């Protein structure tokens, strides 16, 4: 495995993804705990991440000396390079020459890191984002590549097997970056590249059996990919010691609840309790228009309903959750203060500790795309596994203002038509998330010879890598026109369609 030491860069998780794409298992740990992690993991190599900090600051995070003495190859990225240089006796200077964005890198000398990827005296595109830079290398280091703003853009001590790069090979704007990581972990560190979902599946099944023994496990299903994959995996491990509870809050998309129920019962034969709680949820949300109260109401009702059902089943020691790796990675914070709550997120996974059960979280080490791959491995249908993310509070937060069954039905129909058009146009996989929103606004229209006074439907589609930032999707106008016509013709209750062209920030993806 590979240890990634996190100094707080926004893109540290991307390093992990690139390494796993090369078939190698890796873990991210905050720099303060790197020593512990080193001991436990006994990695074959170490990557030091970037950071928003400057090595010139007082109290700048430092490279733990045990890492340098571990005797395994080290790769420092951006801040990681600078921290390495400082630790080994070189010098870093503040930015006279800041470099942000695309930059040209020229290879001046051969190095194992660029083997079969980059050629001597050729130039390649890389992504830079730095103010400080190395001005003096530690002893034993040589320059491998330069850029106009960074004379030490890539340096190496091949004998001690230490590399430092000023650019970010983990981002897509460094087109060959994935190959450099593959070189590092496979050729330099000698990792085998056998981390696949097939091996993960076997390993996870073993671990679940070991952890659970012959106890009973309860799993909350949301209809989403994560909890479904977790449930199918656990069922493979322990069979009918697992019971799933599907709290159907009536806020899912068209046909979704039925799909989940039939998939679990018929395809997988997994014991499933389907709780039809639509009335409870809709009644509680009717007339409530404050987004935060809506979110909290849904969260509270969900927990109450789930607990009541779990109580009926009784005798379970374990609660299964579809927690993913991004939720587990401890974040390195430099701001100190608490961050502002934009939205109170609700997930089926977020059940509080008060349930007094032990947790089974078989997806804790996986990224979203790996969960999808595992879903394929477990035979879940493609259209299910590849679905866009869907928020726990469901359509309630896509119905600004009070929610009613009538509005939810209108929204479901419009949403289904919109997604159908997207699939037909072959755009589904290009888009991170697409959905309809039903506005609490009625406008005047004319249909046939008559006046109409009906709701406005807003369409949203965004591209994103992780949901943290997003761009609105640039449709062809004719696509929007066609979709709007279909929605207005086919859905009673909507007479106007608009398209949301807000990116995130300043907007959020969902409207509430
Ligand atoms: P926002 O609207 O904050 O959404 O830009 C970012 C991503 O998170 C999803 N989202 C949620 N997911 N529970 C979830 O599981 C929630 O309460 C929740 N709220 C928003 C949203 O769909 C987008 O993918």
Whose alpha carbon is nearest atom 7 of ligand 1?
Answer: 467
Mean pLDDT of 302-318: 92
Per-residue exposure over 75-102, b if at least 16 CB sit within 10 Å of its own CB, e if not = bbbbbbbbbbbbbbebebeeeeeebeee
List beta partners, residue 442.
455
Which CATH number is 469's domain given? 3.30.300.10
For residue 278, tell me if it sits in a domain.
Answer: yes
For residue 410, tell me if it sits in a domain.
Answer: yes
Mean pLDDT of 169-179: 94
- 223 and 89 part of one domain: no
- Which strands sit side by side in the sheet containing 99-107, from one edge to the other? 26-30, 2-6, 45-48, 74-77, 162-165, 154-157, 142-146, 99-107, 123-130
Q: Give the distance (Å) from ligand 1 centre to CA of residue 227.
A: 16
Cβ contact 190:24 at 8 Å: no
Percent of the chain with pLDDT strictly greater than 70: 96
- 433 and 472 part of one domain: yes
Per-residue exposure over 321-351, b if at least 16 CB sit within 10 Å of its own CB, e if not = bbbbbbeebeebeeeeeeeeeeeeebbbbbb
Boundary-marking domain end, from 188, 221, 239: 188
Three-class secondary structure of residue 355 per DSSP: helix
Which residue in the list 26, 29, 78, 249 is annotated as catalytic?
Answer: 78
Per residue in 347-376, pLDDT (tens digit) is: 654 565 667 889 999 999 898 889 999 999
For the chain, the domain total comes to 3
pLDDT-based confidence at residue 336 (cuts at 50, 70, 90): very low
Question: For residue 500, what is the DSSP state?
Answer: -
Cβ contact 451:459 at 8 Å: no
Average pLDDT, the chain: 93
225 marked among binding-site residues: yes
**Which residue range is the domain that position 166 belongs to?**
2-188
Which CATH number is 28's domain given? 3.40.50.880
Is the pLDDT reported for residue 510 higher than 60?
Answer: yes
**pLDDT of res. 100:** 83
Give the integer Cα–Cα distance in Å for 117 and 111.
10
For residue 92, tell me if it sits in a domain.
Answer: yes
**Residue of 380, 60, 390 whose CA lies nearest to 224:** 390
- 361 and 406 part of one domain: no
95 marked among binding-site residues: no
Whose alpha carbon is nearest atom 3 of ligand 1?
Answer: 508
For residue 78, tell me if it sits in a domain.
Answer: yes
Residue whose tokens read 């890492």: 67
Per residue in 235-292, pLDDT (tens digit) is: 999 999 999 999 999 999 999 999 999 999 999 999 999 999 999 999 999 999 999 9
Q: Which atom of ligand 1 is nearest to the CA of 344?
A: 17
For residue 64, tell me if it sits in a domain.
Answer: yes
- 51 and 176 part of one domain: yes
Boundary-marking domain end, from 188, 213, 236: 188
Is the pLDDT reported for residue 331 higher than 70?
Answer: no
Per residue in 191-225, pLDDT (tens digit) is: 999 999 998 999 999 999 999 999 999 999 988 89
Complete DSSP assignment for 128-194:
EEES-EEEEPPTT-EEEEE-SS-TTSEEEETTTTEEEESS-TTSTTSTTHHHHHHIIIIIIT-----
Is the pLDDT reported for residue 441 higher than 90?
Answer: yes
**pLDDT of res. 394:** 96
- 179 and 39 part of one domain: yes
Whose alpha carbon is nearest atom 18 of ligand 1?
Answer: 391
Which residue in the list 27, 99, 170, 512 is annotated as catalytic?
Answer: 170
**pLDDT of res. 96:** 64
Whole-angstrom Cα Rg for the chain? 26
**pLDDT of res. 348:** 56
Give the integer Cα–Cα distance in Å for 263 and 224.
12
- 183 and 252 part of one domain: no
SS (H, E, C) 191-219: CCCCCCHHHHHHHHHHHHHHHHCCCEEEE
> Encoding tokens for residue 73?
């190859």
- 248 and 288 part of one domain: yes
- 114 and 224 part of one domain: no
Give the integer Cα–Cα distance in Å for 109 and 142.
9
For the chain, report the end-to-end CA distance as a whole number of angstroms.
41
Question: For residue 396, what is the DSSP state?
Answer: G
SS (H, E, C) 400-413: CCCCCHHHHHHHHH
For residue 511, tell me if it sits in a domain.
Answer: no
**pLDDT of res. 337:** 47
**pLDDT of res. 326:** 78
Q: Which atom of ligand 1 is nearest to the CA of 468?
A: 6
Is the pLDDT reported for residue 381 higher than 60?
Answer: yes
Q: How many Cβ atoms from other residues are within 10 Å of residue 447's Cβ? A: 11
Instruction: Tell how many helices (H) and how many strands (E) occur in the chain.
Output: 15, 20
- 356 and 217 part of one domain: yes
Q: Which atom of ligand 1 is nearest to the CA of 470?
A: 5
Per residue in 107-140, pLDDT (tens digit) is: 999 999 999 999 999 999 999 988 899 999 999 9
Q: Give me the count of residues in the chain.
A: 512
170 catalytically annotated: yes
- 318 and 379 part of one domain: yes
**Is the ipTM, as predicted for this complex, more than 0.85?**
yes
Which residue in the list 29, 130, 168, 346 is annotated as catalytic?
Answer: 168
Mean pLDDT of 409-432: 98
Contacts with 94 (C-beta within 8 Å, 6 or more apart), sequence order: 54, 56, 131, 132
Which CATH number is 302's domain given? 3.40.50.620
Backbone angles phi, psi at 7, to 5 degrees: -100, 10
For residue 86, tell me if it sits in a domain.
Answer: yes
Per residue in 52-66, pLDDT (tens digit) is: 899 999 899 999 999
78 catalytically annotated: yes
**pLDDT of res. 340:** 67
For residue 390, tell me if it sits in a domain.
Answer: no
Give the integer Cα–Cα distance in Å for 433 and 429.
9
- 72 and 110 part of one domain: yes
Q: What is the pTM assigned to this prediction?
A: 0.82
Boundary-marking domain end, from 131, 162, 188: 188
- 287 and 332 part of one domain: yes
Q: Give the distance (Å) from ligand 1 centre to CA of residue 434.
A: 12
HSE, CB side, 13 Å, CA atoms: give it for residue 264. 33
Question: For residue 32, what is the DSSP state?
Answer: G
Is the pLDDT reported for residue 410 higher than 70?
Answer: yes
26 catalytically annotated: no
């Amino acid at each position: 495995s590979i240890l990634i030491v996190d100094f707080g860069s926004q893109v540290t998780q991307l390093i992990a993804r690139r390494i796993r794409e090369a078939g190698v298992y890796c873990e991210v740990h905050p720099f303060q705990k790197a020593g512990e992690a080193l001991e436990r993991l006994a990695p074959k190599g170490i990557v030091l991440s970037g950071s928003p900090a400057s090595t010139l600051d007082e109290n700048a995070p430092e490279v733990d000396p045990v890492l340098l003495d571990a005797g395994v190859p080290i790769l420092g990225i951006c801040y990681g390079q600078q921290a390495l240089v400082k630790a080994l006796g070189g010098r870093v200077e503040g930015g006279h020459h800041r470099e942000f964005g695309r930059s040209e890198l020229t290879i001046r000398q051969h190095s194992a890191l660029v083997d079969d990827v980059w050629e001597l005296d050729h130039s390649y595109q890389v992504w830079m984002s730095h103010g400080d830079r190395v001005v003096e290398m530690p002893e034993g280091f040589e320059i491998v590549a330069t850029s106009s703003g960074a004379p030490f853009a890539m340096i190496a001590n091949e004998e001690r097997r230490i590399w430092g790069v000023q650019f970010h090979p983990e981002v897509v704007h460094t087109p060959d970056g994935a190959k450099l990581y593959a070189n590092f972990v496979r050729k330099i560190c000698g990792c085998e590249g056998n981390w696949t979902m097939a091996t993960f599946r076997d390993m996870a099944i073993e671990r679940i059996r070991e952890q659970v023994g012959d106890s009973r496990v309860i799993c909350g299903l949301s209809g989403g990919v994560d909890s479904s994959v977790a449930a199918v995996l656990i069922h493979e491990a322990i069979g009918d010691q697992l019971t799933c509870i599907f709290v159907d809050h009536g806020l899912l998309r068209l046909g979704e609840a039925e799909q989940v129920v039939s998939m679990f019962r018929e395809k997988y034969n997994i014991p499933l309790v389907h709780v039809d709680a639509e009335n409870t949820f809709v009644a509680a949300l009717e007339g409530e228009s404050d987004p935060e109260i809506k979110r909290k109401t849904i969260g509270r009702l969900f927990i109450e309903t789930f607990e009541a059902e779990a109580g009926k089943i009784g005798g379970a020691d374990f609660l299964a959750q579809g927690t993913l790796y991004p939720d587990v990675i401890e974040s390195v914070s430099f701001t100190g203060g608490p961050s502002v709550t934009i939205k109170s997120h609700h997930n089926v996974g977020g059940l509080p500790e008060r349930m007094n059960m032990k947790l089974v979280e078989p997806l804790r080490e996986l990224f979203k795309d790996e969960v999808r791959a595992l879903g394929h491995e477990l035979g879940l249908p493609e259209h299910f596994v590849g679905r866009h993310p869907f928020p726990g509070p469901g359509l309630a937060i896509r119905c600004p203002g009070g929610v009613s069954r009538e509005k939810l039905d209108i929204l479901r129909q419009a949403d289904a038509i919109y997604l159908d058009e997207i699939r037909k146009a072959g755009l589904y996989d290009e888009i991170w998330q697409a959905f309809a929103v039903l506005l609490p606004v009625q406008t005047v229209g004319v249909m046939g010879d008559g006046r109409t006074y009906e709701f406005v439907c807003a369409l949203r589609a965004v591209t994103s890598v992780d949901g943290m930032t997003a761009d609105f999707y640039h449709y062809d106008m004719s696509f929007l026109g066609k979709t709007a016509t279909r929605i207005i013709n086919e859905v009673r209750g909507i007479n106007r369609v608009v398209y949301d062209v807000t990116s995130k920030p300043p907007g959020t993806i969902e409207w509430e």
